[in-house]
């Protein structure tokens, strides 16, 4: 998600960090969103008709785990949130500087302007998330789901921004460690009535109990909500992982070459994976509860993917293959909203490509339909990109 923040006030040339847009970040954001908008349907359809092992494996990875465990599809949401965190130092850092502790040097006027933008953006994302959930159907309070993917992104990004704007690097790290360890402690030590302490079932987890008490409206699964209030807390750490990575890439103080930075990020991702998997033996990796081990595993894969995209695109300069992903990534929120039901891509694809799809053998028609929907989406995003039309929140 791109971050729209602005600030003014000149900084000393020796401290000011120059703004540089990461092409690889837009591409990675687009790669991430591609699977949600229609890519998963293409793979599922092709796997079914071909039976090829590689496609069957990919198809199996494009489903959420039932409870404990980890698949590529579980990666999509935290990767998007991680990318939002990476964007933050690039958005804020173009007209600010850092002191020796890594804390932003920023005037009170700038900070107030940023706070207004952050509040507006968070509220907008919460409302849009509720719209995706069916708010405009006006089914009443009891049938309205307030929690959402966009709402969690807004809240996690907001609190990560507060930490980034008000604390130096050491304090930021302390915040992240405290969030992950504190969440683990509460989830395993605080008893839930009727279930006791450390129960990580959908009904018995403390986060589910907390949401049943305090989350208004309808829960996604009745007894728990995967985007609930309490499990949003560790997602702040996910956004902060992105902030750390973005600060590392963006900082003008570091004299490392770009290739060295990419390699270090890749190595950090491997370390995160090891920590997360080891932690998972005592605090299972679970996307729906956003366990601390899940945050580490997802953070590890996010770092690895960003390192790969960064080294290939920004360092090696191989950009052309990623152009369609950039179309998606620069309008990620828009295509998410449209693909979630605001625009009937299926009807448009049938109108434009229905005749071609009908020529295909019957077993291949679902694949043709899925591919045609993807083509319609990419054509729309290409037009918007060429005309420089972007939805900014």
Task: Record the pTM.
Answer: 0.89
pLDDT of amino acid 111: 83
Higher pLDDT pick, 257 / 31: 31
148 is a domain residue: yes
Distance, CA of 60 to CA of 53 (rounded, Å): 10
Distance, CA of 28 to CA of 322 (rounded, Å): 9
Distance, CA of 333 to CA of 362 (rounded, Å): 35
**Do 230 and 156 contact (CB within 8 A), yes or no?**
no
Strand partners, 97: 16, 105
- Residue 51, Cα to own-chain centre: how many angstroms? 31
Distance, CA of 40 to CA of 32 (rounded, Å): 11
197 is a domain residue: yes
13 is a domain residue: no
325 is a domain residue: yes
Q: Is the pLDDT reported for residue 243 higher than 70?
A: yes
Domain that holds residue 77: 23-386
Question: Average pLDDT, whole number, for the chain?
Answer: 89
Q: Is the pLDDT reported for residue 136 higher than 90?
A: no
175: Cβ contacts below 8 Å, ≥ 6 apart: 163, 167, 240
pLDDT of amino acid 108: 79
The pLDDT tens digits of the residues spanning 22-67 come to 899 999 999 999 999 999 999 999 999 999 999 999 999 999 999 9
Q: Is the pLDDT reported for residue 385 higher than 50?
A: yes
212: Cβ contacts below 8 Å, ≥ 6 apart: 219, 223, 224
The pLDDT tens digits of the residues spanning 86-113 come to 998 888 765 556 665 666 777 778 888 8
51 is a domain residue: yes
Q: What is the mean pLDDT of residues 375-391?
A: 94
228 is a domain residue: yes
Q: Residue 8: pLDDT band by 50, 70, 90 thresholds?
A: very low
5 is a domain residue: no
Helical ranges in the chain per DSSP H: 23-34, 40-50, 53-61, 72-92, 108-132, 149-166, 169-189, 206-214, 233-250, 258-279, 292-309, 323-329, 332-337, 345-359, 365-386
- The count of structural domains within the chain is 1
Q: Residue 292: pLDDT band by 50, 70, 90 thresholds?
A: very high
pLDDT of amino acid 91: 81
Please name the residue that has the structure tokens 């970040």: 25
pLDDT of amino acid 95: 58
16 is a domain residue: no
The burial class, CB within 10 Å (0-12 / 13-18 / 19+), for 175 is: buried
The pLDDT tens digits of the residues spanning 148-193 come to 999 999 999 999 999 999 998 999 999 999 999 999 999 999 999 9
């Amino acid at each position: 998600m791109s971050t729209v923040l602005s600030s003014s006030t000149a900084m000393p040339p020796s401290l000011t960090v120059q703004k540089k847009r990461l092409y690889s970040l837009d591409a990675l954001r687009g790669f991430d969103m591609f699977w949600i908008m229609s890519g998963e349907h293409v793979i599922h359809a092709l796997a079914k008709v071909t039976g090829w092992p590689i496609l069957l494996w990919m198809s199996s990875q494009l489903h959420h785990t039932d409870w404990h465990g980890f698949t590529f599809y579980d990666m999509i949401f935290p990767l998007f949130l991680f990318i939002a965190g990476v964007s933050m130092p690039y958005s804020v850092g173009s007209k600010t500087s850092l002191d020796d502790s890594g804390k932003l040097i920023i005037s009170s006027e700038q900070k107030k302007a940023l706070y207004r933008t952050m509040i507006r953006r968070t509220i907008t994302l919460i409302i849009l998330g509720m719209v995706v959930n069916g708010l405009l159907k006006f089914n009443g309070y009891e049938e309205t789901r307030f929690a959402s993917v966009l709402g969690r992104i807004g809240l996690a990004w907001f609190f990560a921004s507060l930490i980034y704007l008000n604390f130096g690097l050491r304090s930021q790290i302390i915040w992240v460690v405290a969030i992950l360890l504190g969440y683990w402690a509460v989830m395993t030590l605080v008893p839930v009535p009727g279930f006791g302490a450390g129960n990580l079932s959908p009904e018995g987890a403390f986060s589910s109990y907390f949401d049943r008490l305090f989350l208004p409206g309808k829960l996604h699964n009745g007894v728990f909500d995967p985007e609930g209030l309490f499990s949003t807390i560790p997602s702040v750490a996910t956004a902060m992982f992105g902030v750390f990575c973005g600060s590392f890439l963006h900082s003008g103080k570091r004299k490392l070459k770009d290739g060295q930075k990419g390699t270090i990020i890749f190595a950090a991702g491997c370390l995160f994976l090891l920590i997360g998997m080891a932690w998972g033996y005592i605090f299972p990796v679970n996307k729906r509860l956003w366990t601390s081990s899940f945050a580490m595993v997802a953070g590890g894969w996010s770092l690895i993917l960003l390192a790969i995209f960064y080294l290939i695109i920004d360092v090696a300069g191989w950009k052309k293959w990623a152009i369609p992903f950039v179309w998606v990534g620069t309008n990620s929120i828009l295509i998410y909203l449209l693909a979630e039901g605001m625009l009937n891509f299926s009807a448009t694809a049938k109108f434009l490509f229905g005749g071609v799809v009908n020529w295909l053998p019957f077993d291949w028609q679902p694949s043709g339909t899925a591919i045609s929907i993807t083509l319609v989406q990419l054509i729309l995003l290409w037009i918007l990109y060429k005309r420089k039309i972007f939805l900014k929140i």
